[in-house]
Structure formats: structure tokens, C-alpha cells
A and B are shown apart, each in its own frame.
Chain A
Amino acid sequence: MFFDYSAEQQDFRDSLRKLVADRAPLSAVRARLGDAHDPDLWRTVCDEMALLTLAVPERYGGGGFSLEETAIAVAELGRGLAPVPLFEAVLAIEAILRTGTEAQRQELLPGLLSGERIAVAAMAGPDGFDPGTKPVIASPASPAGAASPASPAGAASPASPAGAAPPGHVLTGSLRHVLRAHVADLLIVPALTPDGPALFVAERTAPGVTVSEPGSSFDLTRPVCAVALDAVPAVRLGDGTGPGLDDLLDVGRTLLAAEMTAAAEACLDAAVEYAKHRVQFNRAIGSFQAVKHGSAQLAVEIDAARAAADWAAMLATAGDPGLRTSALIAKAQAAETFTACAGWNIQVHGGIGFTWEHDAHLYLRRAKADEALFGSTARHRAMLADRVGL
């Protein structure tokens, strides 16, 4: 009977918090608004900390930890809005682990786990597809055509065993909201096939791929790119018999909930710190009940979000089917809490909180962007009602 962080998990969390404080303080995050990518930090995260390997079994070169530790890692980097594609890459790796064939895992994972190549999961809507556009269509590649059925990772690992790659496809369509696609080497793309939705792997440099600059993103610290696919050669992950896209989305929701909860804490911490020192009416404003009780109520919601996110991470680790409901609960709770905390931080700071120079808006932007991912909060509750049979 233990539902809390172990001493080792707490140490791990503290070391990550220190790493982010040292290497990616908000001043450094601000210096990279735009591409929001720090290659040096990414190398540290992948090489020294091996954060991409945590939940990967040792036989694929993983660290033999679990999604609980992965959630802690995503949370701590998210707490500081760190400029690295950890969440996106972890989700892509989970996609390969969960839906790929044994040969695909052997072939794709090593390059990704080292961080040398970056894969991002191009999933945004409640069912993984981008609700803003028509779904990407996968059609079988013509055997002799230019769209070779060779594995997209073939270039990186020419020694891949013959026959490891399932029959090739070409993808056509567009995605308007792919997180950090500008730094990706590989794209994990949900696409429609004649037998339903499936996940595909495509090289970003493959012919027919166009990735926009991340210029006009609302979330300045985690930009989205538009991706256009025109008969792009791609390989289907798995043989169509494995777990579906829904399971992967629930893992995504779980990790996102952990991230949002930590970022919500960062907002409340900032608001509380300010309220302890800002004096008006000859008193610290945090001594006024209006400020104190508002902050306390958000602490209650953060506590709820933390419980839900930890629960979902525990179930994801155990492969428990209860994740189908707890991931929705965790994501919805975290989204509402993060938005409320980000807004409260601006409110408590007053005018200074609404300046470009202050970091508060960076969190509010992240909160609203996260809230929309994988379905709005109302959509999450509607899905929850469906899944539990309300």
C-alpha cells in the first residue's frame, strides 16, 4: 500500500528541478522564444540524464524505470517551460514501443533514445487526428514507384534486417498543429487506412514533406508547426493487431497532466512568493484573505490534479485498463487547474503581470495550448461520460 513518491523518485525529481534551475531558468527560456530549442540542454537531458530511456525496457537500450519516472521528468521540465522536446519525443517513443513490431522497435529506438534523432508525435485532437483539417490518408505505395517501401530509418541504419519493414505506404494530407515539428527528424503520424486509423513513421526530410516555421504559435515556449504531406513515403507501425491509438493518447494525456500540474504549481508558487512581499495598505497583500483564500483554493485544485496525475501514471506503468478513465480525469483536472493558476498569477501580480517582460503570460499561453491538446476539457468530460457509461 503505497501511493506517493518513493525516496528515490523524490531525489530524481529534486535533481531535475536543480538541472532546470541551473540550465534553463526562465531568462534562458525567454532567450529562445521562437524556436524554443536548446540543443545543449537536449544533449544533457538525453546523454547525462537519459530521460528518454526511463520507461523503455532494457532490451531496447532503456533504463528499466517506468512511466512514473517519465511523468516526473516531463513534469519537471514542464515546470520550467524548458526548451527541449521531451514530451513530444517521449510520446513518439511510446508510440513505437506500444504499436511497433519487434523489428521496428529494434530498428528505430536506439537512435531516438540517444536523442541523436528526434521523433515527435503529430497528434493533437481527441482521437489523435488534427480536427482542423481533413485526416491524413495512407495508401499503399506502388511497388516500383518512387515511394520506396524501405524503412524510413533505413538511411540511419542501413543494416536493418531484410523483411523487418512492413509494406510501405504513402501519406497525403496536412496537419496544422504538430508540436515542435521544426526540430523533428521523424514524424509519427496518425493516418486513415482502409481498415481504420493507424500510426505511420515518416522522415521529415522525405520528399513531399513541408514543415512550416513555428512563427505564429500562441504558446511561445512550445511552438506548433503546420506539416503538409504530399505522397510521403511512410511505414506503418505494427501489423494492425496491437493496441490502438486511444491507448497512446491516454499515455499522452497522462504525461501532459503531470506537466500541467507542475506548471500550475510554478504559477501558484510565483503568485504566493509575490504576495508575501508585495506591500499595499502597509501589509503584505498575501495577508489579505482575498489573496490568501484564492491561493488556498488553487492549492486544493493542484492537490487534486497531482493525485489524479500520479494515479494515471501509476496505472499507465501497470498497464491497467483503468487508465481509460483516469487519464481523462487527470488531463481535465490538470487543464482547469493550470489555466486557473496561470490566470491567478497574473491577477496577483497586477499590472506587472500583464507585461511582455513578465514570465506570467508564458505560462498562461502554455496552459491554454495544453488545454486544447487531445480534446478540450469539456470534450474530456464527455468522453469520460461515454467511457464509464454515464
Chain B
Amino acid sequence: MDVSYPERAEAFRAEVRAFLAASLPPGWRGLGALAPGERRDFERAWRATLAEHNLLAVSWPAEYGGAGLSDIEQVVRSEEFERAGAPTGTENDGFGIGLLGNTLLVAGTEEQKRYFLPRILSGEHVWCQGYSEPDAGSDLAGVLTKATLDGEVWVINGQKIWTSAGATANWIFVIARTDPDVPKHRGLSFLLVPIDQPGVEVRPIRNAAGYDLFCEVFFTDARTPAGHVVGGVNNGWSTAMTLLGFERGAEVTTDPIRYRRDLDRLLELARERGRDAEPGIRDELAWCYARVEIMRYRGYRGLTRFLAGARPGADGAISKLVWSEYFQRYTELAMEILGLDALAPPGAGNGGALKVADAGTDNSARCWAEEFLHARAGTIYAGSSQIQRTVIGEQLLGLPREPRLDGGPFRDIGKPAATPALGG
């Protein structure tokens, strides 16, 4: 075993470092150190710089606007940006490039790749994800949003919810029901839908920490061309799962960097408040340190398998559980260290960071309090901990599935089973 990176990856790392040193503003401490107003301007300008230097989609083929390098360069780019506390794009890029773009590369038609990928990179199309619905959360295949073909266009009706960064997007990828007469997983299609049209309305939802990070999206006779279906009509479940594979594979080596940075902040907090020598706190801090190291080790193993062409199945479920459960445990520890200071936490907040605070964010009580609140979401979104444990139990351990009550044609689910007539 040997975790040194190949020479070409290290050469690329040097290039990335040189780029960061030359391009980040003098005295850069991280996105979190910018005032809210400066932040938006910086992000806009920074994204343009990344696009210009071909650093948004390092592993995409050059013919679609990527840098034409391989997966390991993409990983190296993300690692170095994370170390520098520099964003690799906007939050919407996570959906446009990280999820949809990568999915189009494997499941899209040539025409779709040529049309959409360059527009994602140029920033003309800004994406968000239309998966969950009010009545279809963990049971994603139970979505009710309906799409029907009317000549050359899909007509869409329904509602999506928990749409992160929906307010800044102008396109949304949607899982919609296109055939209610077959079992639930078989009648879905994966559609690409423009938001800037009368039939789509996006409304922000304030989260429990007080930030407007996600939205609900209403579709009322919304329209999109018939060709904007990815992976084939009624084959949307497969496309949706391909996309989730990217969601769970991308952060294996950057997550440990991020969590380590945040643990260092927590250590500083414990020291500042004279709590670091308390045996209980110290034991918990050491546990946290060990857990972040284990994330790092797992990251190298995940990367080994990723580079060998494997895509995470149950392994992705394990990664998700590890980081999200850790996130809650160490933000609980932060609250314990704050003590009564958590009752009226002073200082700046966490800027609405969904995971750990951005580099450079104030090490304030309020930041930790908000991070603690956001950690509650980590075990819910992107597949709840319970769903992940079911995946691990069934796919990795081979335990039997539960008896299901949702078989048969989708439109009959929940209706009373036909019973033989009583009496004569």
C-alpha cells in the first residue's frame, strides 16, 4: 500500500497551488472572512476566473469545455482548493457540474452533452435539483409530480421541495412520473426544465437555523422540450441513481480536510475557554481527532477504488453515515464547550454553511450554535441515516427486505385491495 499520488498528479498540484497563490486576493483567509456583501462579488468574479483557467470541470473532455484531464487531477484540484479555503465554484455548480454534468457524460445523448455541458460551464445555465416532494422524501420513487407529453413538449405539474440553491438557479432537473400504470420505479423520467417560464414558481423556505437555503418549486403546466429527458423515457430511476452515485463519491478526500480544519477551530475554542484539559472533553476531542483521521484513511481507500473505476454503492452509504453522524457529535461537543454562552451566542454566524463553516469564519459562539443547528440536517438530506442503514443492511450485508406494501401499478398504491364480495 502506498498513498503517494502519481507524478503527473503532483505536477498538476503544483500548478494549482501556483494558480491559487497568484489569483486569490492578498491576505486571503477563506470565504468565511469576507463580509456578506463582498462575498457575492468575490464569488462571481472567482467563478469567471476558474472558468477562464479551465478549473471548473478538470476531468471533463475538452470537446465539452472541460480541461480534458483525468479523475485524479480533478481530485487534486478539489483538495488544494479546500486547503486554501477557496471555493471550487458556486453552490449551484455542485448541482450543475458535480451532479448533472457528470451524469450527462455517462447517461446523456451526444446532443444533450453538446448543448448543456458548455452552458453549465459558462454559467448561462445555473442548476438545482428537483428530487424530494412533500409526499416523497425517503420514498423518492413515490414522486407525484407528473409529466405528460403534448406533441413535442413535456407538460409538468406538481411540487418539489428542499431544493437547495433554488433561488439562484434558472434550470432544474426533475424526477417526474410519466407512467402511473406500472410499478413506481418504472414509470419515472428524468427531465431538464427551464425555471424562467410562467409555469414554474420558486419560493424560499427558511430553515431551522434562520437561513433561506432551500426552496419549494411549483410546476403548473410548466413546459420543456420532449428531447430534454436523460436516460430515456420511464428510465428515470436509473438516471436518478447514477446521479446519486456522484453525490456520494465526490467528497472522499476533501471532507477530511474540511473536518480537520473545523476540528482545529474547535480545539482552539476549547483552549480559549479553558476546557481542553477536562477529562471528559479531552476524551471526546481525541475521539473526534481519531474519527477525522479515519475519514482521511477511508478517503484514500475510496479514491483507490474510484480511480480503478468502481462507483460507490453501499460504500457511499457508509461515507454518508460517517460524516453526518460525526458532524452532529462534534457540534454537540462545541455546544458543551460553549456552556451558557450558547444561550445568547455572541459574534458572527456561520454564513449559512450547510456543512462545516467556510475557512476564515469567526470562531464565535454564534457560528458554532448555527453549525450545531445545521448538523441536524446532515442526517436527513441526501438520504437519511435510516435509509443509508437500510442500504447497507440489504446491499452489503444481504439482509432480507421488509415486506412491501407499495408493489403493483403506482396508481393503485394505497387503495384498498380488492376483496371478494361477501355473502351470496
Contact = CB atoms under 8 A, between A and B. Distances in A.
Interface of A: 1-4, 6, 68, 268, 272, 275-276, 283-284, 286-289, 291-293, 295-297, 299-300, 303-304, 307-308, 310-311, 313-314, 317, 325-326, 328-329, 332-333, 378, 381-382, 384-385, 388, 390
Contacts of B399: 272, 275-276, 284, 286-287, 291-292, 295
A365 to B, nearest CB: 25
A177 to B, nearest CB: 25
B301 A299 contact: no
Interface stretch (B113-121, B142-150, B159-167, B279-287): B279-287
B276 interface: yes
A384 B1 contact: no
B390 interface: yes
A304 B256 CA distance: 14
A299 B298 CA distance: 14
Interface residues of B, number: 49
30 contacts: A1-B3, A1-B6, A1-B303, A2-B3, A3-B303, A6-B1, A276-B399, A289-B386, A289-B390, A292-B393, A293-B389, A296-B389, A296-B391, A299-B393, A299-B397, A300-B322, A303-B315, A304-B291, A304-B322, A307-B297, A308-B293, A310-B1, A325-B293, A332-B290, A378-B283, A381-B282, A382-B286, A384-B286, A388-B289, A390-B289
B72 A1 contact: yes
A4 B322 contact: no
Interface stretch (B103-111, B190-198, B400-408): B400-408
Which of B276, B321, B389 is most buried by chain A, counting CB atoms within 10 A of its CB?
B389
Nearest to B282: A385
A384 B289 CA distance: 9
B4 interface: yes
A379 to B, nearest CB: 10
Given A287-B399, A289-B386, A385-B285, 19 more contacts: A3-B1, A3-B300, A4-B1, A268-B397, A276-B400, A292-B397, A295-B393, A300-B318, A300-B321, A300-B322, A308-B293, A313-B1, A317-B1, A325-B293, A332-B290, A381-B286, A381-B290, A390-B282, A390-B285
Contacts of B321: 297, 300
A390 B276 contact: yes
A287 B400 contact: yes
Given A300-B322, A390-B289, A307 B301 contact: yes
Contacts of A299: 318, 392-393, 396-397
Contact of A272 (B6, B286, B290, B397): B397
B62 interface: no
Nearest to B2: A2
A390 B283 CA distance: 10
4 nearest A-B residue pairs (beta carbon): A292-B393, A381-B286, A296-B392, A296-B389
Interface in B276-326: 276, 279, 282-283, 285-287, 289-291, 293-294, 297-298, 300-301, 303-305, 307, 315, 318, 321-322
